[in-house]
Structure 1
Amino acid sequence: MGGVIKTGLLLALLTGLFVVVGGLIGGRGGAVIALCVAAAMNLYAWWGSDQAVLRMQHAEPVGPAEAPALHALTARLAARAGLPMPALYLIHEDQPNAFATGRDPEHAAVAVTTGLLASLPEREVAGVVAHELAHIRHRDTLIMSVAATLAGGIGLLAQFGGLFAYNRDSRNNPLGMVGVLLAAIVAPLVAMIVQMAVSRSREYEADRRGAEIAGDPLGLAGALLHLEQGREVPNHGATSATAHLFIVNPFAGGLAGLFATHPSTASRVAALEAMAGQSVIAAPMAPRGKPGPWGSAPRRRGPWG
């Protein structure tokens, strides 16, 4: 319950920041317009963000005929979690990773990369899928879509204000030129920090609940260790706008701490080890480029997807 309240407050802060940026740029009228735009963006995030994300990742739907083992595993875990069977998608990327999307459990999807299926043992794949089902159960997929949409909108709004900072009448702006500059410089940074805080708070809870669904905290812990190693493999479809959706950040390196999209893998593994009462001993990964326990090696995506 504490995590839900914290997430709600953070989303309210993002919405309020969006309205404040509109007010700094255009006064009272700008604040009203920004509020209307925020409502429209949240409506889009509710209805269309899931399919947009899947298209961005070149995800292909798969059923029992194409991926029987993955389908059976997911169905078993979904039943254990009390969820409808989500749609399954495959992303042709060598990097092992996964994410979930959808506005509610009845319209949810789980997408996994071919690299994940080719390199992780069944126990760890189960942990990853259970983690994504936990996101669906907690409706994190909707929360993160709204957070990403609001954060992106604040950045665009602030850029718009910066472009016209020297060409507008500032009578409607209580802070004049200073307000426009604050909106252009500070607001996107604050929005990014809040978005990252939402993401990190949801990952710990999804790890905990996912371990309960799979009945194996150490299986998920081993998967996280392998996914951390796999970040050295480029993920050609991931972008900064979608990085927070994956179970681990698909980009190696980058800014840590305050600007990280995920908690550190070490801290997540430590929490799962404490839950299990013992340390994880990760199973060896399948050699890259060779068939794994879930089928053939990942194919390379051509220029047309």
Structure 2
Amino acid sequence: MDYLALQKKNLRKTYLLVFVFILMMAILGLVIDFLFGVFPIGTAVLVFIALIQTLVGTASGPQLVLRSVGARPINEKSLEEKQLKNIVEELTIAAGLEKAPAVYVMEDENINAFATGFDVKNSAVCVTSGLLKHLNREETEGVIAHELSHIKNRDTLLMSCIAAILGTMVLVQLFAWRSLRILAWRSTGRSSRKKDSGIAYVLLALLVILILATLFSSIGRVTIFAVSRTREYLADASAVELTRNPKGLSNALRKIAKMQRKMPKVKNATIATAHLFIADPLKRSINEKEGFFANLFSTHPPIHKRIALLENVPEEIVLKELYGEEL
């Protein structure tokens, strides 16, 4: 696998993603300017917000993500966490990375992990306490190799931009929705005295903005989630190349799939950070027999497909093993 080519490809995708995001925000700004007659204030404000959010998301993204999930640095006195650090350092050398990423742990009984960081020097790997408890060394190596592959392939830069973009689109939607509700409530209070055509016009404009923001967000999410699913497959392949042991990662994914059916979602994970994890922390893809449209909005490929590719066996065999009683 040509890692240098993958890195350059991900950089190009990142630049394209940022350009499209800024273009969508500019279009939304132009709509606001047209509706309210304030050109170019709306466009300038939304483009400025897009630029700031992208810069902050990529530069400060790692620490923001780690804080948002309640991650903490490893405890060197803990044998499990010290072994985790050793695994990260060993695989870092094997991957040819110039510096080992910082290692963090988040308290959650689910088995999960993610990598984040603008570049190799400022990257971090975080695992759940459930991973330390339920995976053996071989399986942990498979998961860590997967996350290090994201760092080496510059997936973490792409994912940081994705998190920033999703966060911004959600903020725009929330702003439009709350403004619409507040103005609708105020206009209802005035309706007994007189009709206020000005407020009605503003309500209509906010409704248009909300619809456009939702549309842009949905289109962006479908595109982003498709990119995220592809990166997971490539990271799986890179992890096998790194460890020379597909069973480690496939067995870890098997345990993740079985535990997801019993446990609640990862408590501090959000829509904006879900794509970072090795498996969907929001449990939106538990039913591996979901249809096309369900998978279209999934941040991760079905686990049974990933296991089948890693072990080179038909998908039906893995599917029956994981969900045989429901087939």
Letter in 1 for 2:157: L
Equivalent residue runs for 1:1-305 within 5 Å: 1=5, 4=10, 9-27=16-34, 29=40, 30-62=42-74, 64-66=76-78, 67-83=81-97, 84-161=99-176, 163=179, 167=199, 179-180=208-209, 182-231=211-260, 232-234=262-264, 235-253=266-284, 256-274=294-312
Letter in 1 for 2:105: L
Q: Secondary structure at the match of 1:256?
A: helix
- Residue deviations 1:60-111 (CA, integer Å, cap 9, x gap): 1016443221111111100011111111111121111111111111011111
Tell me the TM-score normalised to structure 1 length.
0.79
1:262 and 1:8 map into 2 onto residues whose CA distance is 22
Identity in percent: 36
Verify the 8 A CA contact 1:10 1:198 in the aligned structure 2. no
The structure showing larger relative contact order (alpha-carbon pairs under 8 Å, at least 6 residues apart) is 1
Tell me the TM-score normalised to structure 2 length.
0.74
Q: Give the unaligned 5+ runs of structure 2.
A: 184-197, 286-292, 319-327
Verify the 8 A CA contact 2:222 2:297 in the aligned structure 1. yes
Question: Are the structure 2 counterparts of residues 215 and 64 from structure 1 closer, same or farther at C-alpha, using a change threshold of 3 Å?
Answer: farther
Answer with 1 or 2: which has the greater Rg.
2
Question: Are the structure 2 counterparts of residues 57 and 177 from structure 1 closer, same or farther at C-alpha, using a change threshold of 3 Å?
Answer: closer
Letter in 2 for 1:17: M
2:282 and 2:205 map into 1 onto residues whose CA distance is 39
Shift, 1:159, TM fit: 4.0
Aligned residues: 273
Q: Alpha carbon RMSD of aligned pairs, Å?
A: 2.8
Question: Are the structure 2 counterparts of residues 15 and 271 from structure 1 closer, same or farther at C-alpha, using a change threshold of 3 Å?
Answer: farther
Q: Secondary structure at the match of 1:103?
A: coil
Letter in 1 for 2:209: V
2:155 and 2:121 map into 1 onto residues whose CA distance is 14
Verify the 8 A CA contact 2:169 2:217 in the aligned structure 1. yes
- Residue deviations 1:190-233 (CA, integer Å, cap 9, x gap): 22222312321211111111111122122111111111112232
Question: Are the structure 2 counterparts of residues 142 and 6 from structure 1 closer, same or farther at C-alpha, using a change threshold of 3 Å?
Answer: closer
Q: Give the unaligned 5+ runs of structure 1.
A: 281-305
Q: Secondary structure at the match of 1:90?
A: strand
Verify the 8 A CA contact 1:193 1:258 in the aligned structure 2. yes
